A and B are shown apart, each in its own frame.
Chain A
């Protein structure tokens, strides 16, 4: 089993839609989790940190289920500018962080 697994997509959704991505991780001792956003040909940028059961930031909600070892990212009211690749990242307690391969989102007008 891969350390961090994501559905590569692409997810093609219309503007205003709600979309959710899941990510599963294999190391039950993982301590903290992150969602990064990466635009085409740009560097990854931290979108949200997920430290406990989850957190919300505007249209974005991240949830953590330790029992099932998955993290989710929910985007409400999708905008064209949300089109990007979303990387699930896991801190297992040992450097370096483990990056998923990313889920590609395309929001269509």
Chain B
């Protein structure tokens, strides 16, 4: 248990479905991040939230919609995804000035069929 919890751990969805990924951190951090990692590829930063305000959107398609209601919770709403969106989606948290690095959740392994 790292202090960052992601649910669900695995998700299979059709291209017309709508689903949401959830991330919750109990570390008192005030920055949260979404990353995508395709098979055997490096991490790709998607979104950054500082004090629940979005500070970075790394040219992510609009079929991915983040939501950060407070500093402890982060969601990623998914709709009309494509098979190439299948990947491991990782949430991370840190202090706004990440002097101690990030703590990652265990990720959601998403398969789009």
A contact residues vs B (CB 8 Å cutoff): 31-32, 34, 36, 41-46, 49, 87, 89, 91, 93, 95-97, 99-102
Contact = CB atoms under 8 A, between A and B. Distances in A.
Interface residues of B, number: 26
B48 A95 contact: yes
B66 interface: no
Given A42-B107, A95-B94, 14 more contacts: A31-B99, A41-B88, A42-B106, A43-B2, A43-B104, A43-B105, A93-B97, A95-B31, A95-B48, A95-B50, A95-B55, A96-B98, A97-B102, A102-B42
Interface of B: 2, 31, 33, 42-43, 45, 48, 50, 55-56, 88, 90, 94, 96-107, 109
Contacts, number: 54
A96 B45 contact: yes
B96 A95 contact: yes
Contacts of A31: 99
Nearest to A51: B99
Contacts of A95: 31, 48, 50, 55-56, 94, 96-98
